Each structure stands twice: as C-alpha cells, then as structure tokens.
C-alpha cells in the first residue's frame, strides 16, 4: 500500500499512477531517444554491429520492464487508481484510451519481433547490407513509427487514467 492509500507502490511523478508505470513511461522516452541514436549510427556511420547490439538490447530492456509492469498490474490492479477514489467506477474514456494504446502496443511488438528475427536470419555474416536491406528498411521504419505511436498513446492513457 502506498502513502496515497491505493494498492501497490506510488510513483514519483506525483500523479495517481503506480511506480512501475512512471518507470515505464520514462523508459519509453529513453527507448525512443536510443532508437534515434541507433538509426543515426547505422545510416550516417554504417555502424551495423553497433546498431544490431543496440536494437537487441532495447528489445530485451523493454521486455523486462513490460513484464515487471504486467506482474505488478496483476498483483495490485490499476482501476482504483484510475477511478481516483477507492470503490469508484473507471470513466469510459480511460478504457477508450487503453484500447487505442493496446492496438499500437500489440502491433508494435509483432513488428519488432519480425524485424529482429528476420534481420538476424537474413543479413549476411559478417553483418553488411544485402538482399534483405529493402525488406528491413520497410519493416524497420514501420517498427519505429509503431514505437513512437505506442509511446504517444501510452502517455495519453497515462494522463487520461491517472492525471485527469
Ligand atoms: C526492431 C529492431 C530494429 C529496428 C527498429 C531497426 C531500424 C533500422 C532502420 C530505421 C534502418 C535504416 C533504414 C534506412 O536506410 O532508411 C536500419 C538499417 C539497418 N539495420 Fe536495422 N533495425 C532493427 C534491428 C536490426 C537488427 C537486429 C539487425 C542485424 C541483425 C539490423 C541491421 C541493419 C542493417 C545491416 C541496416 C543497414 C541496411 C542497409 O543500409 O541496407 N537491424 N535499421
């Protein structure tokens, strides 16, 4: 129980959100920034191995934070925090924001897994551009746009559920 009286630990951003959600929201911003750096390195400096390591590290890092988030939500729930009062109903706009976010989040997970698995299998060893480059460029940009939309819709859900 946090100081606020809601189940689970309170976050540090001063909203009703649980701690793990504050961590996840900030982690998404870090992921976007590092993703930008990784794309810059591969396009500008052709540092393919560095790009590969960063992309795999980002995926593992996100998987870890999202797994901790899922466990926390199963243990403590989020609906009392979203309702703003113990025992109150969650406003329907919160569910709308959540479903929009889930569509982007699930699509993006599928895109990331496909992008990484195909890149690992199809780029030549040692790692260099090749016949897979065209497909990778297409999937990779979709994955990047997906991650940006997942972040924006995630922050929107956070604000609708735990700030308003
Ligand atoms: C979800 C994970 C990934 C994302 C979002 C991503 C993103 C990108 C982007 C945006 C580009 C630049 C494409 C362009 O020229 O416009 C790129 C290029 C490249 N990526 Fe990735 N990447 C990912 C994973 C990987 C992995 C795991 C590998 C290696 C196994 C890899 C190898 C490459 C290579 C070799 C290029 C250069 C392709 C070329 O210029 O022909 N990427 N990636």
Q: Give, for ligand 1, the residue of 35, 42, 116, 151 to mutate: max count of ligand atoms closer than 8 Å to Cβ.
A: 42
Mean pLDDT of the region 76-96? 90
> What does R_g of the chain's alpha carbons equal in angstroms?
18
Please say if the pLDDT value at position 51 is more than 90: yes
Q: In the chain, what percentage of residues exceed pLDDT 90?
A: 91
DSSP 10: B
Q: What is the pLDDT of residue 5?
A: 82
Q: What is the pLDDT of residue 88?
A: 83
Please say if the pLDDT value at position 163 is more than 80: yes
Compute, in angstroms, the gap from residue 143 CA to the centroid of ligand 1. 10
Contacts of 127 (CB under 8 A, 6+ apart): 48, 49, 52
3-state secondary structure 119-152: HHHHCCCCCCCCCCHHHHHHHHHHHHHHHHHHHH
Please say if the pLDDT value at position 25 is more than 90: yes
Please say if the pLDDT value at position 78 is more than 60: yes
Please say if the pLDDT value at position 24 is more than 60: yes
Please say if the pLDDT value at position 1 is more than 60: no
SS3 category, 13 = coil
Q: Measured from the CB, is residue 95 less than 6 Å from ligand 1?
A: no
Q: Measured from the CB, is residue 112 less than 6 Å from ligand 1?
A: yes
Alpha-carbon distances of 72 from 67, 85, 118, 131, rounded to whole Å: 9, 20, 32, 43
């Amino acid at each position: 129980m946090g100081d606020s009286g809601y189940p689970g630990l309170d976050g540090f951003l001063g909203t009703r959100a649980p701690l793990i959600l504050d961590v996840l929201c900030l982690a998404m911003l870090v992921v976007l920034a590092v993703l930008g750096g990784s794309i810059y390195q591969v396009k500008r400096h052709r540092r393919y191995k560095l790009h590969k390591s960063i992309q795999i590290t980002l995926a593992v890092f996100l998987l870890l934070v999202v797994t901790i988030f899922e466990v926390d939500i199963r243990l403590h729930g989020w609906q009392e925090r979203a309702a703003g009062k113990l025992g109150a109903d969650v406003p329907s706009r919160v569910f709308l924001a959540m479903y929009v976010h889930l569509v982007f989040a699930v699509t993006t997970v599928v895109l990331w897994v496909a992008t990484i698995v195909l890149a690992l299998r199809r780029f030549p060893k040692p790692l260099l551009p090749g016949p897979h480059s065209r497909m990778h460029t297409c999937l990779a940009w979709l994955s990047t746009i997906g991650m940006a939309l997942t972040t924006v819709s995630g922050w929107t859900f956070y604000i609708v559920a735990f700030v308003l």
